[in-house]
Amino acid sequence: MSHPTLNYVPCPDATGSHRMAYWAWGDPTAAHVLVCVHGLARQGRDFDVLAADFVARAPHPIRIICPDVVGRGQSDWLSDPQAYQIPTYATDMLALLAQLQAQAPIQTLDWLGTSMGGLIGLALAGQPGLPLPMPLRRLVLNDVGPVIEWAALQRIGAYVGQPVRFADEAQAAAALWLISSSFGPHTPEQWLALSRPMLKPLPEGGLGLHYDPAIAVPFRALTQAAAQAGEAALWQLYDQVNAQTLVLRGAQSDLLSAATAAAMAQRGPRGRVVELPGVGHAPTLVAQDQRDTLFGFYFGSEA
C-alpha cells in the first residue's frame, strides 16, 4: 500500500462522544501493530514517509496506525477546551486499540511518539492494569521525557493557537518553516509534503491550519510551577515502563535536555539514547538515517 486509508473510532467523553481519525498503512490483518503519534500542533500524516518505508521493508506483515489526535487533522473538535490534555488522549488511544484488536488480534504492539505523542505513550506504558490488548513491546520517545524545559514550552506557546491565514501552500510552507526550522534540514519537496496536511481551506478563502485553536487553552494555562510539579508524575510513569525503550534526542533540542536524556538511560526502562546531530525539537523522522535507527530498533535481527 503506497497510501494510507482514513478511518475513524468513536471515543467517549463527558458530553457523549467524539470521533478520532486515524491513518492506516500496511496489512489490516497483521498481528504486529505500530502506533505512531504526533506532536502538539501536528497530525498523523507526519509519518507518511516512515510508514511507507517500514511497510515496504518490514520482514513480516505490519499495521502502522497514525492517529490525528482529537482536535487535529480529520478528527472532531472538543466542546470543552480543557479536555485537550493527555488523559483524554490516552483514553482515546485505548478506544483505538480496542477497535484494532476487534478487527484483527494484536500479537505485537509497538509505539512511536513524537513530543506529545511520546507523553501519551508514557501514560499507556507506565500505568499497569490499563486495558491494552497486550503490553507495549517497544517504545520510542522522540525528543521528549519526564522533564520538559520551560523555555521550550514558552516558545511553543507563543505560536500555537494563533489565528493565521495563508494565500497558498507555498506561503503556508514558508511560514511554518519559520517556526519549525529546529526540525532539521529538509528539501523544499520534503517540507511541502509535511506542510500540506497541516492546511485546510477557510470559508473566506485562503488556507488555515488544521487544528482547533482551543488546543492551546490548557497549554497556555500551564504555569512553570505546575510544569515542575508534573515532573514527578511523569518520572513515576517512566519508572514503571516495562517496554524496551529508545529515546531519540535532537542534539540541539530545547525541550529534552541532555541531562534528562542521560537520566532516562539510568532509571526505569533504562532507555537507549540516540542523539541526532543538526536537529532540535523535534526530529521529523523523514531523514533516512533517522528511519534506519528506528527500523533497527523495531525489527532488529529480523531485518
User: CA 232, CA 203: separation in Å to the nearest integer?
Assistant: 44
Angle between helices 188-195 and 169-180 (to 10 degrees): 100
> Residue 229: its pLDDT value, please?
87
Let me know: does 279 contact 172? Beta carbons within 8 Å: no
Of the candidates 53, 65, 75, which has an alpha carbon nearest to the alpha carbon of residue 296? Answer: 53
Give pLDDT tens digits along the chain (303 positions): 478 999 999 999 888 899 999 999 999 999 999 999 999 999 999 999 999 999 999 999 999 999 999 999 999 999 999 999 999 999 999 999 999 999 999 999 999 999 999 999 999 999 999 999 999 999 999 999 999 999 999 999 888 989 899 999 999 999 999 999 999 999 999 999 999 999 999 999 999 999 999 999 998 888 889 888 899 999 999 999 999 999 999 999 999 999 999 999 999 999 999 999 999 999 999 999 999 999 999 998 664
Copy the grid coordinates of residue 227: 510544569
C-alpha cell at 160: 500555537
At residue 271, the pLDDT reads 98
Distance of CA 107 to the CA centre of its chain: 22
Confirm if 238 and 268 have CB atoms less than 8 A apart: yes
pLDDT score of 1: 46
CA-CA distances (angstroms) from residue 155 to 30, 88, 256? 40, 24, 14
Radius of gyration of the chain (CA): 18
